[in-house]
Amino acid sequence: MAAHRTLLKCGLVAGPLFVVVFLLEGAFKGSGYDALRHPVSSLALGPGGWVQVVNFLVVGALTVAFAAGVWRSGFRAGAVLIAVWGVGLIGAGLFQTDPVSGFPIGTSPTVDYTTLGALHDGFSLPAFVCIAAVQVVLSRGNGRTWFWYSLASATVFLTCFVLASAGFNQTAGLVEVGGLFQRLAVTIGWVWLAALAVRLLRRT
Contact (CB, 8 A) for 84 and 116 = no
Predicted local confidence at residue 106, as pLDDT: 85
Q: Is 172 helix (H, G, I), strand (E, B) or coil?
A: coil
Give the pLDDT confidence of 164-178 residue by residue, as tens digits.
999 999 999 999 999
pLDDT > 90 in the chain, percent: 90
Rounded CA-CA distance 193/20 in Å is 16
For the question of whether the overall pTM of this predicted structure is more than 0.75, the answer is yes
Q: Where are the alpha helices (DSSP H) in the chain?
A: 2-28, 50-72, 76-94, 115-137, 144-168, 178-203
Domain boundaries, the chain: 2-203
State residue 137's pLDDT score: 96
The pLDDT of residue 70 is above 90? yes
Q: Report residue 151's pLDDT band, with 50, 70 and 90 as the boundaries.
A: very high
Helices 178-203 and 50-72, axial angle in degrees (round to 10): 30
Predicted pLDDT of residue 49: 95
Instruction: Write the pLDDT tens digit of every residue in 6-37.
Output: 999 999 999 999 999 999 999 999 889 999 99
Q: At 100, is the secondary structure helix, strand, or coil?
A: strand
CA angle centred on 191, ends 157 and 193, rounded to 5° = 95
State phi, psi for 186 to the nearest 5 degrees: -60, -45
First to last CA, the chain: 8
Q: What is the pLDDT of residue 166?
A: 96
Higher pLDDT: 142 or 172? It is 172
Cα separation, 75 vs 7, whole angstroms: 14
Question: What is the rounded distance in angstroms from the CA atom of residue 96 to the CA atom of residue 120?
Answer: 6
Calpha distance 166→161 (Å, rounded)? 9
